[in-house]
Chains A and B, each alone.
Chain A
């Protein structure tokens, strides 16, 4: 069981900055995120795109914003559970919460801050009617263990980096690799495109374009797929696995079933006070929340995180007196023993 003061669900900019504001109050944080790396949308969707409305940064790339936030919160030693999705929440008798991920990792904290953005990133599933019947029976949207493809026939669909990279990788593992894409052009990194071209020329990858997988066949496991090429030509291909790699899209997911008030795919919070949800002790900050006048901006998430931490402090220490201190006055004292503070003025007499 991982124990912490504030359990943050979502490691995007708002979740990361929460660690800093909590740290100033000597509260420890742990973050859960379904993605394998911190940064949320900033790292997953648009790391190379500029943002122009972060105060004091006329321009900053989304990926760099993540890096700077990670640097800023480092002294507060946040814990991370990455690549796992927060699945269930339960309240314990001592008024704390236990959040369990899809992989069974348990986290306990008196305060839960949902900074879930647009939700957890889930693989996009192609609209093939019976595809769900074959999930984990030959259809995989994410490659977890490449060894299951050893000496098997695989069909990969998609035109981005992951489709190309896995097609290349699996030529050394699978007995046959077929790559299906709706266009003749691919948008992956240039070396990957070149490598697939070589592998195609040497006959190690079968490329079917412009084409789409339209049907999946099999009894209890995939044994063939039907591909439509050039819009009309039907090809039925024997295969052991079908791997659609069409990227990820965010879904609110299991959080929607936590008993929180939901409106417009977002969690309703008290914006007059502290961004708390209808369940005391659970807060929602950043893009995942809604209230009158809500704007989904990173800078608004930072503000919400700051106010939320003050409320969390009072909740955890109801009888402790506290007033907010400027970092310029109080400095930043990390849990790692580091201390940053404004240099003291030099007092010296003039003779």
Chain B
């Protein structure tokens, strides 16, 4: 009941439809790690402080997401492979508003 469905395309292009809990104070980066959709050590390197961009994702659905903090914005300004729909997974908490969200994990850099 407190789970949402999220569609995540991993770095190999494989689509995973996963269930994410909304009551565990988790974020998108942590959900990806908990399902091991990207190898440990290649995602969430800074632990979720918006300081490494290893959890960069492309958001492919038009869900309303929390506004970007200056930290996230500036980190993305220095990351690679950045597109207009780039976000840092660690800065997006899992909430009911995210049900049906579609994202793609950006390449490792």
Binding site for A on B (CB under 8 A): 39-42, 45-46, 49, 51-52, 54, 74, 77-78, 80-82, 107, 109
In the complex, A249 Cα to B54 Cα: how many Å? 9
Prevailing SS type, chain A contact patch: loop
A26 CB contacts on chain B under 8 angstroms? none
Chain A residue nearest in CB terms to B82: A182
A185 CB contacts on chain B under 8 angstroms? 74, 77
Which among A41, A247, A265 is the interface contact of B78 at CB below 8 angstroms?
Answer: A247
The reply to whether A160 and B78 contact each other, CB–CB distance below 8 Å, is yes
Which among B42, B49, B74, B80 is the interface contact of A187 at CB below 8 angstroms?
Answer: B74
A160 CB contacts on chain B under 8 angstroms? 78
A49-B77 contact in complex given A265-B39, A265-B41, A265-B42, C-beta closer than 8 Å: no
B41 CB contacts on chain A under 8 angstroms? 118-119, 252, 264-266
Binding site for B on A (CB under 8 A): 41, 45-46, 49, 118-119, 124-127, 158-160, 181-183, 185, 187, 246-247, 249-250, 252, 264-266
A265 CB contacts on chain B under 8 angstroms? 39-42
The reply to whether A124 and B80 contact each other, CB–CB distance below 8 Å, is yes
In the complex, A183 Cα to B46 Cα: how many Å? 23
In the complex, A146 Cα to B81 Cα: how many Å? 30
In the complex, A250 Cα to B45 Cα: how many Å? 8
A45-B80 contact in complex given A118-B45, A127-B109, A249-B45, C-beta closer than 8 Å: no
In the complex, A46 Cα to B77 Cα: how many Å? 18
In the complex, A125 Cα to B107 Cα: how many Å? 13
The reply to whether B52 and A246 contact each other, CB–CB distance below 8 Å, is no
**What are 30 pairs between A and B in contact, CB < 8 Å?**
A41-B46, A45-B46, A45-B49, A46-B46, A119-B41, A124-B80, A124-B109, A125-B109, A126-B80, A127-B80, A127-B81, A127-B107, A127-B109, A158-B78, A159-B78, A160-B78, A181-B77, A182-B77, A182-B82, A183-B77, A187-B74, A187-B77, A187-B78, A247-B78, A249-B45, A249-B109, A252-B41, A264-B39, A264-B40, A265-B41
